Amino acid sequence: MINKATKLFPVWAILLSIVAYAIPSLFIPLKPSLFFLLGLVMFGMGISLRAHDFLRILKSPKPIIFGLLLQFLCMPFFAWGISTWLQLPLALASGMILVGASPGGTASNVICYLAKGNVALSITITTFSTLLAVIAMPALSLLYLGKQVDVPAMKMLMDIVKIIILPVTAGIIVNQLFGRFLSSTKQVFPLISVFAIVLIIAIIVALNQPRLGSIGLLLVGAVALHNALGLFTGYWLPRALGMDRQTCKTLAIEVGMQNSGLAAALAVKYFAPLAALPGALFSLWHNLTGSLLASYWSRAK
């Protein structure tokens, strides 16, 4: 029953997204629960991990470094290239490049967990990319847009601590102390994660419904191509360099899934409301493509 519900993850995500777009008032009041839902999923991840999983990752930092390089070199360049090729208006191009320059999003950790990737590696890259974003985002914005943006460093770091570090640490501690007695309970957390991320996607759709209604097909194509290039490069480049399949899945998800909410917020602050559209659309799009990949990879041998 649990496996069947988990495999239908993309179906639930698409169906609930349609409902959220049609009747946003059902989901907008749930906005305050976003942090709780993510924290719950992160705790479930922690239950499946032990401290030595992170120590092993840090002792072999090559995948971390490679993931960060792909994140901050490829994604902003792809955004600039697509915007130039499609001749997007300046505001939309600015929003695209801000998405490309963003760190990994917390949703990537959830998708990695469901895709049976290396969760410890995913969390580590998300944390380090968020720390680096404090320097990288202003520098990349200046390089590609000629304008520096101020990244809310302390808020981002506190969010990482509250949403990722604390719940995962609590789960690891519970696993260390009571892991033997929780073997049957652990099987329930993938299902909880599925329902949580589906609800998160629906809330994102509801909150962005007015913006999504004004998005043209050209921008949809630009965002879809940007996301696809991130996922493709994140998987096949490490694969060509001999990295194992689990690591490649993890890097694909980390590179292809951005903190687009941050990009949208910065776009409104430093450019124009129109510049927030790429971030709003990316928030929906990368969760849907991530859901499809997680469903496929969780079943693939």
Kind and range of the H or E element at 121? helix 119-145
Give SS3 for 117.
coil
Backbone angle region of 258, left / alpha / beta, with phi > 0 → left and psi within -120 to 50 → alpha: beta
Q: What is the pTM of this model?
A: 0.81
Are the CB atoms for 66 and 251 separated by under 8 Å? yes
pLDDT in tens, 94-117: 899 999 998 887 778 888 888 888
| pLDDT at 236 (0 to 100) | 96
More confident: 147 or 2: 147
Average pLDDT over residues 47-56: 76
Tell me the pLDDT of the chain averaged across its residues. Answer: 83
Round to whole Å and give the CA distance between 261 and 230. 17
Give phi and psi for 104, each to the nearest 5. Answer: -65, 145
Which residue type sits at 178? F
Across 90-99, 118-127, 130-139, 185-194, least confident range: 185-194
Average pLDDT over residues 134-155: 79
Are the CB atoms for 179 and 52 separated by under 8 Å? no
Residue 2 has pLDDT above 60, yes or no: no
